[in-house]
Structure 1
């Protein structure tokens, strides 16, 4: 695949070197097109040595080959990382005052931009308007990560890690019919790998992770959910064209960052009450709500303001528990938007009272959701594992689909079922 890597002038330009290496190691031909400012952060010899191709920001070099037109015309994928506020503004207004912006005007392949700038610049109305304009034109503008910026500043505006940018960009190229399916997941049929935009125009809410209920200021009741399946659902929905909100309960920042890089809006929460409020706030505008989070069934009736102390010779004081709201059942009952599809997850283990599937069928009928994805946890599957296996049930407990493999493969299999169940727009 022929990839153009645009680099604009921000301190995060050094990460473009790592992204270049990743793309080259995947076997792609990559030409770097920097802005003049980018070359003040990373010199042309570095890009040339790693890409094996000449590097320039000038439209008046190699004029006989008309590079400002030919480069875009011959590209299979354009990635701009970092994309500064200035570059976003010039691209949104159709400027063509250097080789990179000229190339962006001639490219008819997928274009992915990974912004990086200070929080105030990212949140400025002008930048947000420019991003909206670019997205309306079909450009994939990934959400920046939150974290340490230049100096002591922290906040949203940090460039996502090169691995995340590469994954989003290559997914976009595969969705457009460029390049092979991911070798690491050969069982993941390309038809299920974001090659269809069957969720375009849909608003989706996904919950992920595991809620934590405080016992005291330092301890909590929780579970082993990593949030990776929920994040995979969010990423797959983004790739299929949806506007996605991910309500993330205590997920690792790398998991949240991956979802942001795919285009999801990530709302961090901790407790069941916080998750319930966040999901319901977003669900009012959603076509689909997927409750993939592992929600704590109970919480302490009272939470002391100081740490519970161990007293030598005395046993632990009992902790009175109260039941948490059943968020999935409430969503299924209330349907906060007309025609809304509600999907639940049930992590189960078999016991003397029944098998995993039997427990799942009982829960499907009890919860009232349209679909319930039942997965057995343990034995290297489910919580914390890289792979998963689910049986998708309808509201009556009947099997409508089964899927296994990576969590992304499972996510796309679930969206296949959901997309067919959604009414036409």
Structure 2
């Protein structure tokens, strides 16, 4: 009796064959020029995206906005849930449509414009409210936040699919490195110049913050149309919603190596639950917090430190990924992330001297987007090119599952404090790190 499970060796042979299913009539020299052009365009796309993103950093700016509106731990806990729902369910439901698109770059532009519209809408809301908090603004904020991450989820699916289509596996680490380092330099310069002015004590200008973010996302979206992309000709039977989720489950059942990758992602996903709470823990530990709870001026430096951390870890992760594969990168980054919650607890003990070192927490949180990108890149190597959208959608669903518990985690923090939740999630990240030792490295089986 033949087993339905995929053996690594035969699986990669099938993947190599599947990736040749879309013919390429270009000469080698023309293909090389297209790869260089697309590499440059995708770097510019990510730099602009990163510049806008620093003004809405998920671990600092967005939860601080909700706190400014009078939000509780329960409401802060809704942010990771909405974030991960948008980045998992819509991409999975639309993965077939993305696969069947002959040109994916139009979807990249469309999704980017949706993201831009959401933040331009928030800017308009704050302008209409004249910068004063009102009860209805929390609801409006969460609705727009949810819509934004639905667009973001599909945008990231399309970007990863285009990356798998246009950039060779051995250059994807270099792409991640270039985009993260250049993006960090530009984003930090903008934050130091502009965000510092818009987060002054007693003068918080969210209208300008959200508006600038929307402009950056608009410019990033427009770069998508500059990609040199050949048309795809794929076909796939229509599936209902039950069939789509059944297909995702089937991937997990039949592909043992991808299943291990998905388990690493799911365990790592618990760390996302802590993202909105780091900034409040740090602000509460600051001397005089009770009388200055709406002073957000300290956030600018924290945002800069976190983005600098992302850039520094990219300098390590990019070359490691290209030379040794993505498995080693995951082991290094997850080990660093495990110490972030513990460090946050140690540096928030009410000692003013220790509080000066609290930005170190955001340096340790810096690798979080790199871990997600590395998981995506590993998935691209584990799956045939025609199935990239479906595999990436399944990965995001596994990564996002724990975020459903995020409101509960926020409520428990309100009731019992930070310590138990932070220590518990550090332990779960440790389990994710240990699970990487069960992963197979695709580079050992497939040199392409």
- TM-score, normalization: structure 2? 0.23
Larger strand fraction of residues? 1
Bigger radius of gyration among the two:
1
**TM-score, L = length of structure 1:** 0.24
Structure showing greater relative contact order (alpha-carbon pairs closer than 8 Å, 6 or more residues apart): 2
